[in-house]
Amino acid sequence: MSASRVTVAAGASLLACSIACSAASSRPVIRITGSDTMVNLVQAWAENYKDLRPTVSVQVAGGGSGVGIAGLVDGTLDIAAASREMKGDERQRASVRNGVEPKEFTVALDALAVYIHKDNPLDVLSIEELAEIYGERGGIVKWSQLGVRNFACAADQIIRVGRQNSSGTYAYFRDVVLGGMREYKMGSIDQSGSKDVVALISRTPCAIGYSGIAFVTAGVKTLKLSARKGQPSVTPSPATVIDRSYPIARPLYLYTAREPTGQVKAFLDWVLAPEGQQVVRDLGFVPVPGLDRQ
């Protein structure tokens, strides 16, 4: 091939690359980071939305609610996913740093389930007992103290499984179960993801842990909970989440730094529409009442 033909061919390749790269760089991108409880749900939203809007790229990452909210405050994200409410000091930092007022969207409901190994005979637990298992100075350390003989756990010692402190689930459990003024007891085995908590409990007959209801597997079972010992206990389910009879039901949120516009608004509108809420149901969470029937 002559030098002139090589030059022409190379020029054509560069032109084609330039056009393709320019198109790729102009493709709208929505960046979402945050709650590990919600990461599978947000990823499912992203995949379904791609079928509807193939030119929009929705990029999803976990890391915990705190990580997502910090990214939103710093201006590096479009949307933060959180399994807890944004705190007052986080809103203040967003205002001071970027002059913005974050907007909150309730996008799903969840039952924070308490999991044990499938062979554990325990069925019911009270919030008071749960606090004595997990809270500092808590006195419940053995399964026999709960009135059961856990034959699969020869040591009788309760192994506490929890979440890392950047997790919204960690914060929600502490505030609701431990009462906000009480901290966690040292010595728990803390996991980085909701799925990891359940997987560890399924392999550990002595373990107990907390995670979203959507992560239940055949190797574990969820406990009925009562507000106080001796009061009626409630199974985590869509019905008990909606009527709030389950004592640790919670909303799940998406946050934007300001009133959403453009592609971010279009995505959120779809999430809050029946199609997006159907994804919530398909993933094992609970749709926001009314949104799935608009």
Position 294 scores a pLDDT of 57
The CATH homologous superfamily for domain 28-109+251-293 is: Periplasmic binding protein-like II (3.40.190.10)
Closest CA to 267 of 39, 109, 105: 105
Q: Strands 189-191 and 57-61, how do they pair? A: unpaired
Position 69 scores a pLDDT of 95
Position 100 scores a pLDDT of 82
Angstrom distance (rounded) from CA 97 to CA 88: 14
**Mean pLDDT in each 10-residue stretch from start to end of the chain (294 residues)?**
42 42 65 96 97 96 94 93 94 85 96 97 97 96 96 96 94 92 93 95 98 95 94 95 95 96 97 97 94 67
pTM of the full predicted structure? Answer: 0.86
Position 26 scores a pLDDT of 67
Q: How far is CA 82 from CA 33, 253, 256, in A?
A: 9, 5, 11
Contact by Cβ (8 Å): 255, 79: yes
Position 154 scores a pLDDT of 94
Position 97 scores a pLDDT of 80
Q: How far is CA 187 from CA 25, 160, 162, 211, in A?
A: 48, 8, 10, 18
Contacts 24+ apart (CB under 8 A), 18-27: 27/55, 27/56, 27/57
- Do the domains 28-109+251-293 and 110-249 sit in the same CATH topology, yes or no? yes
Angstrom distance (rounded) from CA 186 to CA 2: 75
Position 162 scores a pLDDT of 97
Contact by Cβ (8 Å): 232, 131: no
Position 27 scores a pLDDT of 78
Q: With helix as H, strand as E and coil as C, how does the chain read? A: CCHHHHHHHHHHHHHHHHHHHHHHHCCCEEEEEECCCCHHHHHHHHHHHHHHCCCCEEEEECCCHHHHHHHHHHCCCCEEEECCCCCHHHHHHHHHHHCCCCEEEEEEEEEEEEEEECCCCCCEEEHHHHHHHHECCCCCCEHHHHCCCCCCCCCCECEEEEECCCCHHHHHHHHHHCCCCCCECCCCEEECCHHHHHHHHHCCCCEEEEEEHHHCCCCEEECEEECCCCCCCECCCHHHHHCCCCCCEEEEEEEECCCCCHHHHHHHHHHCCHHHHHHHHHCCCECCCCHHHC
Would the CA dihedral through 213, 172, 265, 23 be positive or negative? negative
Q: Decide which of 3.90.1150.10, 3.20.190.10, 3.40.50.1100, 3.40.190.10 is the CATH code for 110-249.
A: 3.40.190.10
Position 138 scores a pLDDT of 96
Tokens of 190: 């803390």
Exposed, middle or buried by CB within 10 Å (0-12, 13-18, 19+), for 189? middle
Tokens of 156: 């009788």
Angstrom distance (rounded) from CA 40 to CA 34: 11
Residue 54 has phi, psi (to 5 degrees) of: -65, -20
- The domains of the chain are located at 28-109+251-293, 110-249
Contact by Cβ (8 Å): 227, 130: no
